[in-house]
Amino acid sequence: MIRPMIAANWKMYKTIPEAVALAQRLRDAFAEPEDRDIVVAPPFTALGSVSAILKGSPVRLSAQNMHWEAQGAYTGEISAAMLIDAGCEFVILGHSERRTLFGETGGMVNRKMRAAIQAGLKPIFCIGETLEQRQSGATFAVLEEQIKEGLNNIDSGDIRRVTFAYEPVWAIGTGETATPGQAQEAHRFIRERLTSLYGEDIASPAVIMYGGSVNPGNAGSLMEQPDINGALVGGASLEFESFAGIIRF
Ligand code: PGA
């Protein structure tokens, strides 16, 4: 049985006081070590304050993005070392909003993946197809390409630090969730690709979260699927009740 991960992606929401208030409620409600991992990814500005709130709590901290260089003249960017300094253990990389709205290519995602691992962060590596790609039957080819590019030059020692997230772009923030069957099929494919790249020992225990309009009502049926090991949650992670409902799936 793979220990599931439930991760909150707060995107560009929440001031520092709002982020602290929600983190406090999560810390208090989930104070005992659970049989699942809980992660929150606040915006950069709230990382330090949320990290202080979560000290000693099993709720863990992630950033939503980073730059691949260690430091330099990169106005507006944040390095892996800065995220570690702010208390992060994880970083979300390759999110479809980064790829589609901010022009991140597979090559850029790969540089970030390698820099994050080298610095000691654990990447949450996101992949997923658009609606047009699904409708034209290209889903598996797209996933295969994103895996190939994103994991380029990441060896079997380092891949153990990576958590995966399958997020069909057409299901993100749309209220339209992949059916458990559609999600399972994609997750199975991802695990098979990991098996052929890294072998059974690494692929079988790999955590592959599903993301895309997860809510307390659909979390259970998604998580019942054999290859779905958690959820990366956007909209429904912004309120305590709905995120707690998903954690308790
Ligand atoms: P959503 O976002 O839950 O609002 O669809 C998921 C994500 O983008 O990670």
Task: Report which protein residue has its CA nearest ligand 1's atom 2.
Answer: 234
Question: Which residues, other chains included, contact 12 with Cβ-Cβ below 8 Å and sequence gap of 6+?
Answer: 43
Q: How far is CA 31 from the centre of its chain?
A: 22
What is the 154 CA–ligand 1 centroid distance (Å)?
Answer: 26
Neighbours of 101 (CB within 10 A): 9
No. of helices (H) and no. of strands (E), the chain: 12, 8
DSSP character at residue 237: G
Question: Which residues, other chains included, contact 202 with Cβ-Cβ below 8 Å and sequence gap of 6+?
Answer: 156, 159, 160, 194
Computed over its alpha carbons, how large is the radius of gyration of the chain? 17
Average pLDDT of the residues in 129-152? 97
Closest ligand 1 atom, residue 211 Cα: 6
Question: Which residues, other chains included, contact 231 with Cβ-Cβ below 8 Å and sequence gap of 6+?
Answer: 6, 7, 209, 210, 211, 214, 219, 222, 223, 246, 249
What is the 210 CA–ligand 1 centroid distance (Å)?
Answer: 10
Closest ligand 1 atom, residue 97 Cα: 8
Closest ligand 1 atom, residue 165 Cα: 9
Question: Catalytic pick from 67, 95, 97, 129?
Answer: 95
- Amino acid at the residue 162: V
Is residue 167 flagged as an active site residue? Answer: yes
**Mutation choice for ligand 1 from 127, 167, 172, 177, CB with most ligand atoms inside 8 A:** 172
CB under 6 Å to ligand 1: residues?
9, 167, 172-173, 211-214, 232-236
Average pLDDT taken over every residue of the chain? 97
* pLDDT at res. 26: 98
* pLDDT at res. 85: 98
Closest ligand 1 atom, residue 214 Cα: 3
Pairing of strands 208-211, 122-127: unpaired
Residue 185: pLDDT over 80: yes
Give 79-98 pLDDT, tens digit per residue.
999 999 999 999 999 999 99
What is the 97 CA–ligand 1 centroid distance (Å)?
Answer: 10
Give 13-22 pLDDT, tens digit per residue.
999 999 999 9
Residue 119: pLDDT over 80: yes
Residue 145: pLDDT over 80: yes
What is the 101 CA–ligand 1 centroid distance (Å)?
Answer: 15
Beta strands in the chain (DSSP E): 5-9, 37-41, 60-63, 90-93, 122-127, 163-166, 208-211, 230-233
Reported as a pLDDT band with limits 50, 70 and 90, residue 176 is: confident
